[in-house]
Amino acid sequence: MKMFERSQIGTMSLRNRLAMAPMGTNGLTDIDCGYGRRLIEFYEARARGGLGMVMTGAAITNTEIEGGIAHLLPRIDSPAYMGRLSELADAVHNHDCKLVLQLTAGFGRVNFVENNPIPPVSASENVCFLDPTVTTRALTTDEIQQLVVSYATSAGMAKIAGVDAISIQGYGGYIIDQFMSALWNRRDDEYGGDLDGRMRFAMEILGATRAAVGDMPIIFKFTPDHFIEGGRTLEEGLEIARRLEAAGVDALHVDAGCYEAWDRVIPSMYEKPGSQLELVKAIKEIATVPVIGHGKLGNPKLAQSVIDEGIADYVCLGRPVLADPEWPNKVRAGLESQIKPCIACNDACIGRGYEMKYLGCTVNPLTGMERTYEVFPATSKKKVLVVGGGPGGMEAARVAAERGLDVTLWEQGAELGGKLLPAAAPSFKQDIIPLLAYMKHGLEQAGVKVELGRVATPDAIEAFGADRVILATGSRFSPPPIPGVDLDNVYSSAQFLSDKPETGGHVIVIGAGLCGSEVAAELAVTDGKKVTLVEMAGEVVPEGTNIPTLMGIRSLLAQGQVDIRVDTKVMEITREGIIAERDGKSEAIAGDAIVMATGYVPDATLRDAVESRVADCVAIGDSVKVGKILNAIWSGFHAARVIE
């Protein structure tokens, strides 16, 4: 397989053509933002997994000019950080893997502004992405030069510490890109104006870094197309690539989008696999140095085709190796069905970052907790009964069985999956299907005794005589007390997605959370129905939904021309539609079918009934608190991990 052939970037020889994409590692550093044990274990697991190179997430080179993000990401702005960086380099090298350190010159207008004592900066005065009420100030030329010096100094320290290459974070609307783009750079000095001027900052960083690191490879990550009005388009992107090459970069790492089009940068579940490949291909056609491409390339066949067809020289995997660090080893060994697939939910990796929580992964609770949550063989052969075959129950059963416990899983339905089944039903949510397949396969491999069509009752559970019972019974639909909710033209979202009943041409969806919005988009975009989406609150999709997902669903709703009615309360459901109220005025909205996406409640019936009848019982997932796949899998994992 060409993907596993030895390759070369500048002076760096690599064991294959697989890279880990740079990903910001919030929450994993030492208290002083150094590369501590957790971060080293996090990267070592990926190096052990068979990658040719691990690219770190952005590391800070200067904390004086810009604050905020500097308190979350690793720092390499002082010799005090070099010792631990050298430990990281050794840990990665021990697995025949190369370490590429990404350095940032700053975040500029996309930096955190809340609780940041240092006012934000940029190429010019720009509106801040995270708080449009705040405007950046333009950097002075002295400050620009200070940033260049800091950057090169950090690169020099990295080289001494044993890093193999530097990645320049010149993409996605971060500060270097803010300088390069006419949209955010309106300076009239030598750092603005035409492309020469706008690229001066990047070129000075490149030149100073080259002087500091000698022939050590420098990779430049850049964005040939911002995919927003007024942003960069491919023509300029190609020209930037030519100039970077001429200036001596050793590889071009291609990205897409910017914060305003974040679902292009970090493609959501709704984007197709390989969503950035078109741009990668365009750059590859003109490049003479190696080209690195990424963006939902976790499907091994797709990854292989990227190399075989010459679309890129390197496949870069971000979230796929958060989900499964062993991706390369498994592909190489032909064990594709054992790869834990990233579902592009962005909940634990991106979403948690914005909640100031440590970097994690929905499908892999070990990510960022490699040693802390290490799973050990059980010390006894306890009998474990898991009730419920949704993601929570399946995770608990597999992990318990892998630990050597004697595990039985009862699922009342005819198939495994629980609410993963309706979750995966929309045509644009196919990323969940491989997860379901992986989980089913995992149960088989681990030797879990699965009994389908088996309804757990309190008597049956007690009679089974398990040492530990794990209840993963999920949630149940709880319709609000609206007159007409029992009519036969009314469906719950899960029922609707699972059964796909025949409806007329106009469907009303009540509840514009993520689930309701997805149902509306599926009906409108895939089925071509006329859809009205009604929401009592003031906006579509709840606050707290991660930004790429939010952008993705909003564009699907726009694409499907869904008629969105916010601040609208449903008063009654009839055979002809609904009666709703907005601003105190009543209105009849016609519709052939009504889908209720108004929420589920935890189903704790079984727990309440058996808790006092069995020795050791724990409830997990939606049966405790209705959440997402993340909560179900993580709680299932821990319920099994802690069994003594």
Ligand X SMILES: Cc1cc2nc3c(=O)[nH]c(=O)nc-3n(C[C@H](O)[C@H](O)[C@H](O)COP(=O)(O)O)c2cc1C
Ligand Y SMILES: Cc1cc2nc3c(=O)[nH]c(=O)nc-3n(C[C@H](O)[C@H](O)[C@H](O)COP(=O)(O)OP(=O)(O)OC[C@H]3O[C@@H](n4cnc5c(N)ncnc54)[C@H](O)[C@@H]3O)c2cc1C
Catalog residues that contact ligand Y under the rule CB under 6 A.
345, 387-393, 410-413, 418-420, 422-423, 455-456, 472-475, 493-494, 497, 515, 606, 621-623, 627-630, 632
Q: How far apart are CA 590 and CA 517, in angstroms?
A: 19
Q: Which does 22 bind (CB under 5 to 8 A by kind): ligand Y, ligand SF4, ligand X, none?
A: ligand X
Candidates 191-199, 312-320, 385-393, 435-443; binding stretch for ligand X (CB under 6 A): 312-320
The yes or no reply on residue 345 touching ligand SF4 (CB under 6 A) is yes
| 364-379 as b/e: b if 16+ CB within 10 A | bbbbbbbeeeeeeebe
What burial letters (b/e) apply to 22-58, b meaning 16+ CB within 10 Å?
bbbbbbbbeeebbbbebbbbbbbbbbbbbbbbbbbbb
317 is a contact residue toward ligand X (CB under 6 A): yes
- What 8-state DSSP symbol labels residue 469? E
CA angle (105, 110, 115) in 5-degree steps: 100
The distance of closest approach from Cβ of residue 91 to ligand X in the complex, given in angstroms and rounded to an integer, is: 19
Nearer to ligand SF4, 433 or 460 (CB): 433
Q: Does 422 bind ligand X (CB under 6 A)?
A: no
Residue 75 found at the interface with ligand X (CB under 6 A): no
Shorter beta-carbon distance to ligand X: residue 173 or 267: 267
| Minimum distance, C-beta of residue 403 to ligand SF4, in the bound complex (Å) | 23
Which one of residues 183, 348, 448, 580 is an interface residue with ligand SF4 (CB under 6 A)? 348
Is residue 439 a contact point for ligand SF4 (CB under 6 A)?
Answer: no
Rounded to a whole number of angstroms, the minimum distance from the CB of residue 198 to ligand SF4 is 33
> Rounded to the nearest 10 degrees, how much is the dihedral formed by the CA atoms of 184, 186, 189, 192?
50
C-beta separation of 520 from 557 below 8 A? yes
Q: Which is nearer to ligand X, 228 or 460 (CB)?
A: 228
Kindly state whether residue 349 participates in binding ligand X, applying the rule CB under 6 A.
Answer: yes
344 binds ligand SF4 (CB under 6 A): yes
Tell me the closest approach of the beta carbon of residue 315 to ligand X, in angstroms: 9
28 binds ligand SF4 (CB under 6 A): no
Q: Is residue 593 involved in binding ligand SF4 (CB under 6 A)?
A: no
Q: Does 54 bind ligand SF4 (CB under 6 A)?
A: no
Provide the minimum distance between the beta carbon of 457 and ligand X in the complex, in angstroms, as a whole number: 43
Residue 361 binding result from ligand X, ligand Y, ligand SF4, none, given CB thresholds of 5 to 8 Å by partner type: ligand SF4
Stretch touching ligand X by CB under 6 A, among 15-23, 136-144, 203-211, 441-449: 15-23
The reply to whether 347 sits near ligand SF4 by the rule CB under 6 A is: yes
Smallest distance from the beta carbon of 252 to ligand X, in angstroms?
13
User: What values do phi and psi take at 579, rounded to 5?
Assistant: -110, 125
Tell me whether residue 336 is exposed, middle or buried, using C-beta atoms within 10 angstroms of its C-beta: 0 to 12, 13 to 18, 19 or more. Answer: middle
Site for ligand X in 579-638 (CB under 6 A): none
**What crossing angle do the helices spanning 37-48 and 82-93 adopt, rounded to 10°?**
20
Unique residue bearing structure tokens 């952008």 = 551
Active site residue 491: no
Coil, strand or helix at 284: helix
Q: Specify the residue, 219 or 424, whose C-beta has the smaller distance to ligand Y.
A: 424
Cα 341 from Cα 362, distance rounded (Å): 10
The answer to whether 169 contacts ligand X (rule: CB under 6 A) is yes
Q: Which is nearer to ligand Y, 287 or 629 (CB)?
A: 629
Give, for 494, the enclosing helix (H) or strand (E).
helix 493-499
| 173 vs 231, beta carbon nearer ligand X | 173
Given the residues 35, 171, 174, 438, the one annotated as active site: 174
Min dist CB 4 to ligand Y, Å, is: 33
The three-class DSSP label of residue 337 is helix
CB 602, CB 623: distance < 8 Å: yes
Burial class (CB in 10 A: 0-12, 13-18, 19+), 458: middle
Burial category of 207 from C-beta neighbours within 10 Å (exposed 0-12, middle 13-18, buried 19 and up): middle
Segment interacting with ligand X (CB under 6 A) among 224-232, 243-251, 316-324, 515-523: 316-324
Span 205-244, contacts to ligand SF4 by CB under 6 A? none
Q: For ligand SF4, which residue of 25, 62, 362, 492 counts as binding (CB under 6 A)?
A: 362
Helix (H) or strand (E) holding 578: strand 577-582
Consecutive H or E run containing 210 = helix 200-213
Residue with tokens 């209105």: 587
Size of the chain, expressed as the number of residues it contains? 644
Please compute Rg for the chain using Cα positions.
26
Interaction site with ligand SF4 (CB under 6 A): 319, 322-323, 342-349, 361-363
Which residues are catalytically annotated?
174
Interaction site with ligand X (CB under 6 A): 21-24, 57-58, 102, 169, 221, 255, 266-267, 294-297, 317-320, 349-350, 353, 359
